[in-house]
Structure formats: C-alpha cells, structure tokens
Amino acid sequence: MHLLLVEDDDAIAEPLERGLEREGIAVTRVATGAGALAAAAGPGAATFDLVLLDLGLPDVDGLEVCRGIRAASGVPIIVVTARADEVDRVVGLELGADDYLTKPFGFRELLARVRAVLRRTTPVGRHGTPAPVALQAGSMTVDLRTREVTVGGRKVALTPKEFDLVAFLAEDPGRVFSRGEILEAVWDPHWYGPTRTLDAHVASLRRKLGAHRIETVRGVGFRLAGEDPA
C-alpha cells in the first residue's frame, strides 16, 4: 500500500509516518497544498492507494486541495484535521472526502479507518476475487479503473458517491438490492442516518443516466436495468 500524507506539522507527520511504515505502508509526505495537488496529478499519482489530508495547510485551504485532488483522481481521501465543526465535516465529505477524522486521534483508530475506507473503495467481486475493470448494463459502461461512466459512448459526469452507487448496482444488473444492502455497501457499514439520501442519489442518477436506468421495487429497494428499453 502507498499512501500520500499531506501534513505540514512535523510533530504530527513524523511519528505518523514512522507508524504507518511499521505497518508496511509506504508513505510519501508533502507539507503544502501545492505539493499535494502536484503529487495527485503527477506521474506517480497512480501509485497512491489513499490520501491523508490535513486541512490547515500553510498555502492553500485543505478543502480546496480536497476538491482539486478529487477533480484529478478517484483516490480515496481521509481528511485529518483539528477542525471539528459539523459544517467543515459536511463540506469535506461533499467535496469528495471518504472519511473525516478530527485531531487528536489514536494511531490505531486512524489505521482502522484507512483499512475500512480501502475495503469500501477497492473494487472486488462478490466472492473476494478481483472485480472486472469495466461493468456493462445495456449501453452503459462503468469503468472501475478510471471511475468513469459512459452511456452510448457519451461520458456522464457523476459525483464520487453517485459513481459508487451505480458501480455497486452494476455488479449484478437486474438483481434487486435492498436499501440496507446499498447503504451498507455504498455509504457505511454502520449507517444510521435517513434513507432519503439514497433516494436523492437515485433521483440524480436517473436524471443523468435516463429515468429507466434504475428501477424501484416497492418495499424492497432498487435494481439496475440490464437492458436498454426497446
């Protein structure tokens, strides 16, 4: 595993880097927002499995860095910061962060979150085998490597969570997934919030992909249409 650590405070970064390396995780550290954006878009960007991103950087606000990294890559991002306000957490997650951890934190908790995020974001088949690079449902293609969706050859712009949702459904077109299954797989294994967030994402995907693409099965959940309408 190769991790990009974006942290300007040596007192935090150095012991964190040593701890991660003891766990067998390779670490590339940068101390500025500009350095993070350059690393995320540079030739070595494809080697990063995850980004640990501090928000209090000396040159660029960390939320803008999060936005820039997400625009360039689908790499998972965990925000690690002293900002504990709910607004900052919400904004960070909306900009594409996969998790949000406030300082001070325990190293074991951080490590557990890293592993949990990677389990949720690394494509695997239903039996633990490597997933195919691309999934097909009618004229729609879901590319798991580039995190791009095309319909009839036309690229469709999706948010990170919209992509995660359609990719999950596309693993088995035609199968009905319950709301609980979807929330656990796409959002969080311990999701306890309102399920209307799922409905909002489904509605957005229908606008972008076609109203017929995701079907509602009343009292159960949703399924992805395996074929285009005649």
- Are residues 144 and 110 part of one domain? no
Structure-token match 């009343």, residue found: 218
Percent of the residues in the chain that have a pLDDT greater than 70, as a whole number: 87
121, 142, 173 - which closes a domain: 121
56 domain residue, yes or no: yes
- Are residues 186 and 157 part of one domain? yes
Q: What pLDDT, on a 0 to 100 scale, did the predictor assign at position 8?
A: 92
- Are residues 156 and 106 part of one domain? no
Mean pLDDT of 29-53: 88
121, 151, 167 - which closes a domain: 121
Rg of the Cα atoms in the chain? 18
Three-state SS annotation for 167-228? HHHHCCCCCCEEHHHHHHHHHCCCCCCCCHHHHHHHHHHHHHHCCCCEEEECCCEEEECCCC
pLDDT in tens, 177-190: 888 888 877 876 55
State the Cα–Cα distance between residues 229 and 217, nearest whole angstrom. Answer: 18
128 domain residue, yes or no: no
State the Cα–Cα distance between residues 183 and 159, nearest whole angstrom. Answer: 16
Q: What pLDDT, on a 0 to 100 scale, did the predictor assign at position 122?
A: 63
- Are residues 77 and 20 part of one domain? yes
Check residue 8 and report its DSSP letter: -
Which domain range does residue 214 map to? 134-224
Mean pLDDT of 24-43: 91
Residue with more model confidence, 158 or 111: 158
pLDDT in tens, 59-94: 998 889 998 998 888 888 998 877 766 676 677 777
Q: Contacts from 9-18 at CB under 8 Å and sequence distance 24+? A: 9/54, 12/54, 12/103, 16/52, 16/107, 16/110
Q: Which amino acid is at 92?
A: G
Q: What pLDDT, on a 0 to 100 scale, did the predictor assign at position 125?
A: 44
Mean pLDDT of 159-171: 87
C-beta neighbour count of 200 within 10 angstroms: 11
* pLDDT confidence tier of residue 53, bands split at 50, 70 and 90: very high
Number of domains in the chain: 2
Locate 217 and state its tokens. Answer: 């099965």
Q: What pLDDT, on a 0 to 100 scale, did the predictor assign at position 188?
A: 63
127 domain residue, yes or no: no
121, 148, 177 - which closes a domain: 121
> Hey, which residues does 80 pair with through a beta bridge?
101
Q: Is 65 left (phi over 0), alpha (psi -120 to 50) or beta?
A: alpha
> Between the CA of residue 169 and those of 114, 119, 158, 196, 225, what are the distances in Å?
24, 17, 15, 18, 9
Mean pLDDT of 15-30: 90
> Hey, which residues does 37 pair with through a beta bridge?
none
- Are residues 89 and 20 part of one domain? yes
State the Cα–Cα distance between residues 21 and 1, nearest whole angstrom. Answer: 10
CATH number for the domain spanning 144: value is: 1.10.10.10
Q: Describe the strand order of the beta sheet including 154-156 as a list of residue ranges.
A: 134-137, 140-143, 148-151, 154-156
